[in-house]
Amino acid sequence: MPPTLLSLHNVYKTFGGLLAVQDIGFEVIRDTVVGVIGPNGAGKTTVFNLITGSIKPDSGKVIFLKKPITGLKPHSIVNKGIARTFQTIRLFSKLTVLENVLSGCHTRMEAGLVASILRLPSQRREERKFIDRAMDELEFVGLESKWQHPADSLAYGDQRRLEIARALASDPQLLILDEPAGGMNEQETIKLGDLIRKIKKRKITVMLIEHDMSFVMDVCDKVVVMEGGLKIAEGSPMEIQKNQRVIEAYLGVDDENGY
């Protein structure tokens, strides 16, 4: 039985009296790609925000590597090995591509205030090492030649890939992608699928939210379906496609994203 990397147990979250997420629980198995789908407003992004610490659950537990991470600050959760991208791109748009990736390295670097001000040899060694590391991540997503460009000068698809490189630079065990294919054309989406498979090969577990069903069914090993803050189904892509409740939810509530 493969070990569980992340699990959620009976997680609840309300916003101003509205139940955004209720009694959510599921497991993420190491080295798999898990998709979270559901109509708009189903609570998918809320679940991601609960895992990454952007918001705190009202009750319930999030367990990562057998330890509770519920209520920790986002930065310490990154340090524990969970990295994320955002639904709307949130790069440091005025900084260079390389500087953006170096932000991911931050949590794995150690140089403190004094070492930085005095530019101690140890600090310079570390800088060199992580600049190389950041360049490797850029190469991984195919952006190494653009390392000096300001992030906001990149094409949309490249910005998405840069966000992924930035997250990978934090050396995560779990990578969380919020609508990575959003706004991408067909070609870019195919490349993204390849990239996610490459990430999986690096023994990094991936969770993603997506509306593009063919994409989800293509890259995911497991799919969690949410509706109205509840988990309504969970299983392999094949099982999900046949699930009666899922079909109803999609046809009944949100035919725009229907499948």
Partner 1 sequence: MSDCPTRKWPSLVGTGAAAAAFLAIPLFFKAIGLRSGPYWLDLLNTVGLYTILALSLNVILGHAGMFHMGHAAFFAVGAYTTAILNLNHGWTILATMPAAFLAAGLLAAILAGPIIHLRGDYLLIVTIGIVEITRIALSNNIFGLTGGPNGLVGIARPSLFGFRLSKPQHFFYFIWFMVGVTYVMFYFLENSRFGRALKYIKEDTVAAESMGVNTTAYKLIAFVLGAAWAGVAGAIYASRMRTISPDSFTFEESVLLFTIVILGGSGNQKGVMLGSFMVIGLPEIFRGFQDKRLLVFGAALVLMMIFRPQGLFPPTPARVKLSDAWSNKLVEPATNSESDDG
Residue 103 binds partner 1 (CB under 8 A): yes
Residue 106 binds partner 1 (CB under 8 A): yes
Residue 198 binds partner 1 (CB under 8 A): yes
Helix (H) or strand (E) holding 256: none
Task: Give least dist CB 103 to partner 1, A.
Answer: 4
Residues 54 to 93: which contact partner 1 by CB under 8 A?
A: 54, 73-76, 78-79, 83-84, 86, 90-93
Question: Judged by CB, which is closer to partner 1: 63, or 111?
Answer: 111
Residue 152 binds partner 1 (CB under 8 A): no
Q: How many residues bind partner 1 (CB under 8 A)?
A: 54
Tokens of 236: 């392999």
Task: Give least dist CB 157 to partner 1, A.
Answer: 12
Residue 19 binds partner 1 (CB under 8 A): no
CB 222 within 8 A of CB 236: yes
Residue 166 binds partner 1 (CB under 8 A): yes
Euclidean distance between CA atoms 218 and 195, whole angstroms: 13
Residue 131 binds partner 1 (CB under 8 A): yes
Task: Give least dist CB 65 to partner 1, A.
Answer: 17
Print burial letters for 200-237: b (CB count within 10 Å at least 16), e (below 16): beeebbbbbbbbbbebbbbbbebbbbbbbbebbbbeeb
E strand segments, 173-242: 174-178, 205-209, 222-227, 230-235
Task: Give least dist CB 91 to partner 1, A.
Answer: 7
Helix (H) or strand (E) holding 243: none
Q: In the sheet that 33-37 helps form, which strands lie side by side, from edge to edge?
A: 82-84, 174-178, 205-209, 33-37, 222-227, 230-235
Of residues 123, 159, 189, 205, which one binds partner 1 by CB under 8 A?
123
Task: Give least dist CB 210 to partner 1, A.
Answer: 20
Task: Give least dist CB 223 to partner 1, A.
Answer: 24
Residue 139 binds partner 1 (CB under 8 A): yes
DSSP 3-57: PEEEEEEEEEEEETTEEEEEEEEEEEETT-EEEEE-STTSSHHHHHHHHHTSS--
Interacting residue ranges for partner 1, rule: CB under 8 A: 52, 54, 73-76, 78-79, 83-84, 86, 90-96, 98-99, 102-104, 106-107, 109, 111-113, 115-119, 123, 126-128, 131-132, 135, 139, 142, 144-145, 147-148, 150, 166-167, 170, 194-195, 198
